[in-house]
Amino acid sequence: MARTSLSEIEQRNNRTLEYMHNHSSVTVEELAQYLQVSTVTVRRDLNYLLNEKMVLRTSAGHYALNEDPSFDVALFQRYSAHHLEKTAIARAALDLIPSGSVIGLDSSTTVLELGKLLSQKEHLTVVTNNLFIPAYLCQHPSLKLFLAGGSVYLAQNSTEGADTCRSISCFHYDIVFISANAFDFEHGLSNLDFESVDSKVAFLNHTDRCVVMVDSSKIGKHAGRMFLPTSKIDVVVTDNGVTEDQITQFQQQGITLIVAR
């Protein structure tokens, strides 16, 4: 019997969360019909999402998203937001990587999409603190893969903390790929999740080139802790939702803009 891949499970979980986002309450049978899978598979997926506190059992046989404002946004909810844009951005960013490069990848879901594509490249050295990226790349012998050690931070599915930053700082990078919650033309990148900022800065302190990957919904906004001014950004890769006014502002800032199609 064929084994279900991690990618298929991820995609199914994201489709489940997207469907639940648009419906106040759903049943196992309803999800099985929507996903075209068995009710056994749906129950297994829901058990995982319940354990991760991404969904709630609202009544007998009914489920809903956990929308408690105190709940830290889990990976699959972040992953499902603007997923098509993120995959387009990743494909465009892939073209920026020459063979033989040493690259750093942060723990963001946008950069995760790039990580999934790196098997198309050869002779790369890849350093990341994203716990999912090694699962996609560990079977490719032409890639040297390093997972930065440290404390496991489940909310971001990453390693974080002082040990992680020291591991990241052991390398010098040709290119680092970074994302964040917001990009502001006055202040640069900012993030709501303070725990992950230090690891991003560790990457940025040891690179020749910084590539920012953000979907257009994040442009013109700020969030929490600022950590990367626009003067330190070499390239921004975004989707075609970017406005003409924003394109002009990128040009005025001297930042190379790549619009993924």
**What is residue 69's predicted lDDT score, i.e. its pLDDT?**
45
The confidence band for 71, taking pLDDT boundaries of 50, 70 and 90, is low
**What is residue 70's predicted lDDT score, i.e. its pLDDT?**
47
**What is residue 5's predicted lDDT score, i.e. its pLDDT?**
54
Domains of the chain: 6-77 (1.10.10.10), 82-260 (3.40.50.1360)
**What is residue 61's predicted lDDT score, i.e. its pLDDT?**
86
In tens, the pLDDT along 119-154 reads: 999 999 999 999 999 989 998 999 999 999 999 987
Does residue 189 register a pLDDT over 90?
A: yes
- Give the rounded distance of the alpha carbon of 48 from its chain centre: 20
**What is residue 123's predicted lDDT score, i.e. its pLDDT?**
96
State mean pLDDT over 173-184. Answer: 96
Nearest to 176 by CA among 201, 155, 149, 195: 201
Does residue 1 register a pLDDT over 50?
A: no
**What is residue 233's predicted lDDT score, i.e. its pLDDT?**
98
Mean model confidence pLDDT for the chain: 90
**What is residue 78's predicted lDDT score, i.e. its pLDDT?**
60
Does residue 234 register a pLDDT over 50?
A: yes
**What is residue 175's predicted lDDT score, i.e. its pLDDT?**
99
The residues with which 260 forms a beta bridge, in sequence order, are 239
In tens, the pLDDT along 160-178 reads: 999 999 999 999 999 999 9
pLDDT higher for 15 or 4? 15
State mean pLDDT over 11-31. Answer: 88
Nearest to 222 by CA among 178, 179, 182: 182
Does residue 4 register a pLDDT over 70?
A: no
Residue with tokens 């990128």: 250
pTM of the model: 0.74
Does residue 211 register a pLDDT over 50?
A: yes
The confidence band for 68, taking pLDDT boundaries of 50, 70 and 90, is low
